[in-house]
Structure 1
Amino acid sequence: MSARAIWKGHLSIGDLGCAVALYSAVNASERTAFHIINRDTGNRVRREYADADTGRPVGKDDLVKGYDTSEGQTVILEPDEIREAVPESDKRLELATFVACDEIDTLYLERPYFLAPADRQSVEAYDLIRETMEAQNVAAIARTVLFRRVRSVLIRPQGEGLIATTLNYDYEVRDPAESFEGISKVKIETEMLDLAQHIIGTKMGEFDPGQYEDRYESALTELVKAKIAGRKPKKLPKRKAENVTSLLDALRKSAGNDAAKQKPKGKTQSSGATRQKKAG
């Protein structure tokens, strides 16, 4: 089944532009989904809003949004007032600012989308924009209304297409100092640093998302299958706790384990035995 566009608009750089469509790059529907069930009847339950003070149910038409002020008052916002306050979308992604790809702070990346030509007539201009950005190794920042909110979007080339990633606003990203302020500077011994660098070097590889398993999702799937089959679910192996007396001992042990894994088993001995046999 072909992907379904969730937004359509116009991508442009100055007078150069093309029609584009936005597609979700993440599919959360593949995850195991559950319903809330009444254990006594086996029936699904539904959620209802109730007045916090009276306990009486509140109908959908009587629901409005409220904002609590610092003085303890609640400001009521009617649906029409909120709709009028939200900027109207002009369906345009104007590439006004370009930044080097290696200057992008990943803290601000929110959610990725695929940005593709919306029709055949837009392919040529789309490819020109993508190839120019790729040649200069740059990404573009644009602003538009998505999902009833003005959002900043980072657009960058990837493969034969463009990736559009919504960005967190500066006020939404917490100051790292709030979490790192308790970290004190310590002097690392040379041997410890060398061992740590060696361990990292033995584990270097390429990023392959396919090799990382969602163990939580796998465990839920196994649990559901076991319940259907009327058997006990398979238990995942637990990691054994290791007694380590110091950080340096842990590094030495880890480096030794990595060396043992990489050392060819039996090749040197077998080749020597063969030479002795031929000599005899």
Structure 2
Amino acid sequence: MAPRALWKGELKLADIECPVALYAAASTSQRVSFHIVNRKTSNRVRREYVDEESGRAVDDDDQLKGFDLGNDTFVTVEPDEVAELVPASDKTLSVTRFVKCADLDLLFFDRPYYLGPDRDADEKFALIRDSLAAENVVALAEAVLFRRLRTVAIRADGNGLLANTLHFDHEIASPEKTFAKVAEFKIKKEMLDLAKHIMKSKAGIFDPAHFDDRYDAALAELIKAKIAGREIKPPKRKREGKVIDLMDALRRSAKGEGAKKSEDGRSARRKAG
């Protein structure tokens, strides 16, 4: 089944207007999800809003958004008042500037999307895509997406475009405050060399296929076992030993990686032979 577009509009670059469609690039729909059920009846439990003081259910028409001023005092806002503040959308992704890919801080990336051509705009789309790829730049565009004015980073990727909504500056926590209590250490050269050796021995390529969601897989196995009526055994957990000496730990790690690398080499030669 073809993916469903979340948004459609125009990607505007100066006088070029290219019809585009925005698609979700990531989804958590494949994760194991649960409903809340009544232990005694196995019926699903329905949530409802209740008054904190009286404990009585509150009808939908009587529910308002409230901003907490503290001490259980709220400023209430009517739904139509909120609706009036939603920015008007002209269905346009307007490119405001271009930045080098290396200059874009990944910390600001929010949600990933695919951006594809719409309404037979393949030629215009290819022109924009190939221009971004040739210059190795990211287009920063603005659009009203999902009720908010958002800045979107758009970059070439293979046959299409990747689009990431960006966090606002005020949403990013201060690194200075976060790391203010980190003590300064002068690391010895031998320790750095050992750490570099370990990193080189584990060098590889970025391959998401190797990432395992062990928790989700364990949940799926638990459900299968319950359906089949099998005995459920809790997984064995490894006891982690305490690292007493950092230098000693580095040396043991370096030796272990060296032995593993040598063993992998022997295995490869046996397979080749």
Q: TM-score if structure 2 supplies the norm length?
A: 0.93
How far apart are the structure 2 equivalents of 1:239 and 1:69? Answer: 48
Structure 1 residue 256 corresponds to structure 2 residue 251: no
Q: CA deviation at 1:62?
A: 1.1
Structure 1 residue 125 corresponds to structure 2 residue 124: yes
Which position in structure 2 is the counterpart of 1:67? 67
Which position in structure 2 is the counterpart of 1:277? none
> What RMSD over aligned residues (CA atoms) do the two structures have, in Å?
1.7
* Structure 2 gap ranges (5+): 267-273
Contact residue 17 and residue 126 of structure 1 kept, 8 A: no
Which position in structure 1 is the counterpart of 2:111? 111
Q: CA deviation at 1:125?
A: 0.4
2:95 partner amino acid: L
Q: Secondary structure at the match of 2:29?
A: helix
Matches within 5 A, 1:1-280: 1-69=1-69, 73-120=73-120, 122-233=121-232, 235-242=234-241, 244-264=243-263
1:48 partner amino acid: E
Contact residue 222 and residue 233 of structure 1 kept, 8 A: no
Change (3 A) 1:21 1:72: same
How far apart are the structure 1 equivalents of 2:71 and 2:239? Answer: 54
Q: Secondary structure at the match of 2:20?
A: strand
How far apart are the structure 1 equivalents of 2:180 and 2:192? Answer: 23
1:60 partner amino acid: D
Q: CA deviation at 1:264?
A: 4.7
Q: CA deviation at 1:242?
A: 3.4
Contact residue 117 and residue 126 of structure 1 kept, 8 A: yes
Q: CA deviation at 1:234?
A: 5.7
Q: TM-score if structure 1 supplies the norm length?
A: 0.91
Q: Secondary structure at the match of 1:95?
A: strand
Identity %: 48
Q: Secondary structure at the match of 1:150?
A: strand
Q: CA deviation at 1:166?
A: 0.8
1:144 partner amino acid: A
Q: CA deviation at 1:235?
A: 4.9
Which position in structure 1 is the counterpart of 2:271? none
How far apart are the structure 1 equivalents of 2:242 and 2:184? Answer: 26
How far apart are the structure 2 equivalents of 1:98 and 1:209? Answer: 29
Which position in structure 1 is the counterpart of 2:269? none
Which position in structure 1 is the counterpart of 2:270? none
How far apart are the structure 1 equivalents of 2:262 and 2:239? Answer: 24
How far apart are the structure 1 equivalents of 2:50 and 2:257? Answer: 59
* Structure 1 gap ranges (5+): 268-280
1:187 partner amino acid: K
Q: Which has the larger radius of gyration?
A: 1
Contact residue 115 and residue 162 of structure 1 kept, 8 A: yes
Q: Deviations over 1:136-165 (max 9, x none)?
A: 000011111111111111111111111111
1:218 partner amino acid: A
Q: Deviations over 1:149-190 (max 9, x none)?
A: 111111111111111111110011110112111111111111
1:41 partner amino acid: T
Q: Deviations over 1:30-58 (max 9, x none)?
A: 11111100001110011011111111110
Q: CA deviation at 1:68?
A: 2.3
How far apart are the structure 2 equivalents of 1:253 and 1:91? Answer: 59
